[in-house]
Structure 1
Amino acid sequence: MEGTTKIWRDAEAGVAEAGAMLAAGGIVAFPTETVYGLGADARNPVAVERVFAAKGRPSDNPLIVHIADRSGLEQLTLPAPATALRLMDRHWPGPLTLVLAVRPGAVAARVTAGLDTVAVRMPAHGLARRLIAAAGCPIAAPSANRSGRPSPTTAAHVREDLDGRIDGLLDGGPAGVGLESTVVQVDEGGRIHILRPGGVTSSELAACGPLAEPEPAGSAEDETAAAAPRSPGVKYKHYAPSGAMRLVEGAPDAVRARIQQEVDEAARRGARTGVLAFAEHAAHYRADLVLSCGSLSRLEEAASGLYAALRAFDAQGVTAIWAEAAPRSGIGEALMNRLEKASGQPPLRV
């Protein structure tokens, strides 16, 4: 399916042409405030299938549908619960996705993975909303990367994975948040279920309604479950560099000592080693490549830099990576979720 990808380096000038490409059944990568998305007309089954094929995405992994404004919601979903409406009022446009009851026939079946719900968000990125408006249709868009790889936060990342596999790419500069949206679903009792942590934190969600208890391992959202997940990003290993990665969690001194021990042992076995550390600790490590995605005092910065750092390990041929765990609060919840998904296993606790 290799072909030519048209790249609009002046993204604003390319919006109309890219919108027409989407309306005609093309697939186009575009920036959002979270990561770059790979868009298709959510109603067009052929276009949606091309997104799955370009990414190598599992067929039971639903897509998020992006809308330009609230007027697009009525065509996609049945009436939303009051708590969901409060969440929209407070966090749309923004990095929040709501899983809502889908209006029958509103989107292609592959978008919902056969479920009776659809995930919807209104991005805060003005260029993304202008593109959706220019296309004149809701846009189904997962992250614009090969499935399982670190998500793209720049147009260059998209080209690394998808050049020649997609029709167009709007280069809108680096993404801001750098992590995918928070995904939630509101139950009949008005409780908010966090299906995937992201740019909107649990404390911000709680201002709109009560939070449900986290679902236990082995539930329908666990990656070992057989059923199609209600949200993207929960069932499969995601966001992973090519090298094996292990996350280490515990007291800072113990974490640094254990990581260095593991790095030294791997180096003796001939591995090319890497460490992903916070800026405050990076100078303490000895490895082939030591990277920092940001500071412990500015976790938003660390979240924004995570995927670029993981891709940098790949670019340098690192085969064994150890990463410091993040605090599990605020945006750190989402950062830890992505680190755990990237490693494919629970943290090593020391």
Structure 2
Amino acid sequence: MTTKIVKIDGEHLDFQAIEEAATLLKQGGLVAFPTETVYGIGANALNEASVKRIYEAKGRPSDNPLIVHIAHLDDVYKYASEVSEVSLRLMNKFWPGPLTLIFNKKATISKFITGGLETVAIRLPSNNIARAIIEAAGLPIAAPSANRSGKPSPTRAKHVIEDLDGRVDMIIDGGKAQIGLESTVLDVSSGMPILLRPGSVTKEMLEQEIGQVQVDPTLMGEHEKIVPKSPGMKYKHYAPKGKLTVIYGDENLVRNKINELVREKEVAGVKVAVIATYEDEQMYQCENIIVIGSKNNRTEIAANLFKVLRMMDEQAIEFIYTKAFSEKDIGMATMNRLLKAAGNQKICL
């Protein structure tokens, strides 16, 4: 398959290219496009054959649910069997934007895209290009992250090209994804809302709007035995090729431990790297140090995480060490992704 690559300015939309992408989707094709979170690989959510192509292109397990993207808030009523008052408050506050809500589904949504569940994940993105494509297609678009399954999510078109060139019909280059982490996923299908995947819409922001939100116990730990109700819950995700380890503890102890581990690997002739902030870059004794941002800017660290993990692959790093970052606000999402990328491999000092 030859993949067509088209560049679109999100502020000055090329409607001819938008229509071309929409036509491909209506014909059962796959189109990768930017959203405000990460790049997505889209297909007609009402066409099982098209959705099957997503799983094939990504190499994704079919029990891993997909998020359905819509163009207008009212579209949710076409696919959700019940929309509660709590859901409405969240939609009115955070849509369009990086919040995915899980509803009980209508029969119009096949279990093929819900991982066999009776619930469906729905999001209304805010990215201009994504919204324009979905609206032009006139369809709900199933769109997981546009990467090979298990790899770091793509925040730039070049990441999508690296993973999916020749596997999708079109890739739209809309520049860098603004947020850099996937959407927050909140289950509102029954009873107390449950946070299944943290993101830039934080637990604190949700609770300010609707009161108490439960946190799924698998978010920051083991996850292999669960039935995934949301993308990113069950399998090792976001992982670089090298072995990643996260170190928790007192700053001085962590620094000393990382330097010790680095020395061991360098003596063994193994290529090793450290993920550091601007403030602690000079504390590490390692040839390969990649700065992720300022420790005082959790949004910056979140936005750079997947880019940094992909840089590790570009440099053929075999072992990667990083301290644990703050879990406050969006830091919870950063650490969720980091631990999943590490396969929960961590050292607590």
Which residue matches 2:174?
A: 172
- Give the superposed CA RMSD: 1.5
State how far apart, in whole Å, the 2-side matches of 1:196 and 1:226 are.
14
Shift of 1:255: 1.2
Distance 2:41 2:218 in 1: 30
Task: Single out whichever of 67-76 and 165-174 deviates more from structure 2.
Answer: 67-76
Change (3 A) 1:118 1:125: same
In structure 1, how many angstroms separate the alpha carbons of the residues matched to 2:136 and 2:79? 18
1:80 to 66, 79, 83: 83
For structure 1, the 5+ residue unaligned runs are none
Partner SS for 1:100: strand
Q: Which residue of 1 aligns with 2:5?
A: 7
Matched, 1:197 2:198: yes
Structure 1 counterpart of 2:336, one-letter code: N
Which residue number corresponds to residue 113 of structure 2? Answer: 111
2:136 pairs with 1:134: yes
Of residues 14, 19, 35, the one that matches 1:16 is: 19
Q: How does 1:265-276 map to 2 (within 5 A)?
A: 265-276=264-275
Which residue of 2 is the match for residue 211 of structure 1? 212
Residue in structure 1 matched with residue 73 of structure 2 by the alignment = 70
2:225 maps to 225
Equivalent pairs, count: 343
Shift of residue 244 of structure 1?
0.4
Alpha carbons 2:66, 2:142 under 8 Å: kept? yes
> Hey, what's the Cα distance between the residues in 1 that align with 2:189 and 2:173?
38
Do 2:103 and 2:189's aligned partners in 1 also have CA atoms closer than 8 Å? no
- Counterpart secondary structure, 2:209: coil
> 1:81 is aligned with what amino acid?
S
2:39 maps to 1:36:
yes
Structure 1 residues 122 and 297 mapped into 2: Cα distance closer, same or farther (>3 Å)?
same
CA contact (8 A) 1:193 1:211 kept: no
| TM-score, scaled to structure 2 | 0.95
Match of 2:308? 309
In the alignment, what sits opposite 1:125? 127
Structure 1 residue 195, shift from structure 2 partner: 0.3
- What's the secondary structure of 1:276's corresponding residue? strand
Matches of 2:47 and 2:237, distance apart in 1: 26
**What displacement does 1:226 show?**
5.1
Deviations 1:117-139 (A, max 9, x none): 00000011111101100111000
Measured in 2, the distance between the counterparts of 1:256 and 1:222 equals 26
TM-score normalised according to structure 1 size: 0.95
Whether contact under 8 Å (2:193, 2:214) holds in the other structure is: no
Contact 1:278–1:324 (8 Å) recurs in 2: no
Confirm or deny: 8 A CA contact 2:111 2:118 kept in the other structure.
no
Contact 1:280 1:295 in 2 (8 A): yes
1:54 aligns with 2:53: no
Which of 148, 151, 154 aligns to 2:153? It is 151
Is residue 322 from structure 1 mapped to residue 317 from structure 2 by the alignment? no
CA deviations over 1:249-286 (Å, ceiling 9, x no partner): 12222211111111111111221000011121112222
Rounded Cα–Cα distance in structure 2 between residues aligned with 1:47 and 1:215: 31
Aligned to 1:74, what secondary structure does the other structure show? helix
Instruction: Give the drift of 1:114.
Output: 1.0
AA at the equivalent of 2:317: V
The whole-number CA distance in structure 1 between the counterparts of 2:96 and 2:226 is: 33
CA contact (8 A) 1:44 1:107 kept: no
Amino acid at match of 2:43: A
Cα drift, residue 238 of structure 1: 0.3
| Structure 2 gap ranges (5+) | none
Residue 102 (structure 2) aligns with: 99
Cα distance, 1:207 vs structure 2: 1.3
Say whether the 8 Å CA contact 2:154–2:160 is kept in structure 1: yes
- The superposition leaves residues 166-208 of structure 1 with CA deviations (integer Å, 9 ceiling, x where unpaired) of 100111000010000000012544x221001011111001012
Q: Is the 8 A contact 2:77 2:83 kept in 1?
A: no
**Distance in 2 between the 1:203 and 1:197 partners?**
11
CA gap of 1:306–1:216, structure 2 versus 1, over 3 A, is closer
Map Cα deviations across residues 307-349 of structure 1 (whole Å, 9 max, x no partner): 1110001001100000121111101000000110000025311
Question: By how many angstroms is 1:10 displaced?
Answer: 3.0
1:294 equivalent in structure 2: 293
